[in-house]
Amino acid sequence: MTEDLADIWGRMFNFANYGELLALVQNSIVAAAVLGIVGGLIGVFVMQRDMAFAVHGISELSFAGAAGALLLGVNVVAGSLVGSLIAAVLIGILGAKARDRNSIIGVLMPFGLGLGILFLALYPGRSANKFGLLTGQIISVDIPQLGLLISLSVVVLVALLLVWRPLTFDSLDADVAAARGVPSRALSLGFMVLLGLTVAVSVQIIGSLLVLALLVTPAAAALRVSSSPVLVPLLSMVFGFVSAVGGILLALGGSLPISPYITTISFLIYVVCRIVGSRRSPRRLPRALATAGR
């Protein structure tokens, strides 16, 4: 029993030759840092627009696209990107209302998952490549992929900053925003495209099954401890950064996939914020709405 526990611990945390291993995953650390920041920022809007379920739906189509690319021997990130954008546009067009959105996501999720499993079953290569699409891979990011990831992340960050105020207003009260001339339909579709881009690049690091840990949990944690329209995005980005980079640094000392480390750190941050936030008075929405509507 003791030997079994020691073996499990050794597989989870083994920091022998840590310095040498650290030098091999520099690209992944940079990618994780970028994803943590971008995921934390866009996650604020995911929470405000109540679209956590949409993130999961997009990730399933992203998984199908990545698996299809793996089978065809083309760029996996490109395949993931195609799958994510198709899902994002479909959800944005067909799911304008919450009820319709849940329906189309519920239809797309099993279809994407089934398609991805089919592609992986047909793929004749290493099983580690298949498993990595679901749970992430720590050493899978090469220089071209890192460049593409950073480029897409910059596009998402710049676009979010350009539409920050109207998107915040539309996310908090779409009816009032539309009455004041905010193009809600175009904003909603544009946001879905940005979300699709973020999911596509996140799948490469954390895998399609647990992408919510970077796009939802950090923002949910930040909203538990603050109602400030400035502090919430900042905290969410910090939480996403700590979860992603901390997960890679811990995973480097073990022989397990990276996603359990990232999701555990992200979950612990949320638990702490939940405890801290339980002592605060719930008055975050009116303040944020008032700020966005000015």
pLDDT digits (tens, 9 = 90+) for 129-169: 666 677 666 566 778 878 888 898 899 999 999 999 999 98
Tokens encoding 209: 């099954």
pLDDT, averaged across the chain: 82
Instruction: Please state which architecture CATH assigns to domain 18-278.
Output: Orthogonal Bundle (1.10)
How far, in Å, are 8, 12, 247 from residue 5 at the CA level? 5, 11, 22
User: What is the pLDDT, as a whole number, of residue 22?
Assistant: 73
Task: Report the alpha-carbon distance of residue 183 to residue 193 in Å, rounded.
Answer: 16
Tokens encoding 216: 């939802």
Please say whether the beta carbons of 240 and 220 come within 8 A.
Answer: no
Higher pLDDT, 275 or 129: 275
User: What is the pLDDT, as a whole number, of residue 274?
Assistant: 93
Task: Report the alpha-carbon distance of residue 44 to residue 168 in Å, rounded.
Answer: 9
> Domain residue spans in the chain?
18-278
Q: Which of 22-26, 55-59, 156-160, 245-249 has the highest mean pLDDT?
A: 156-160
- 15-19, 76-80, 165-169, 209-213 — which is least confidently predicted? 15-19
Summarised one tens digit per residue, pLDDT across range 205-232 is 777 777 888 889 999 999 999 888 899 9
* Rg (the chain; Cα; Å): 19
Task: Report the alpha-carbon distance of residue 185 to residue 196 in Å, rounded.
Answer: 17
Please say whether the beta carbons of 123 and 130 come within 8 A.
Answer: yes
Q: How many helices (H) and strands (E) does the chain have?
A: 16, 0
User: What is the pLDDT, as a whole number, of residue 137?
Assistant: 67
Please say whether the beta carbons of 262 and 289 come within 8 A.
Answer: no
- Residue 285 clears pLDDT 60, i.e. is over it: no
Q: pLDDT-derived band of residue 290, with 50, 70 and 90 as boundaries?
A: very low
Q: pLDDT-derived band of residue 294, with 50, 70 and 90 as boundaries?
A: very low
Please say whether the beta carbons of 184 and 149 come within 8 A.
Answer: no
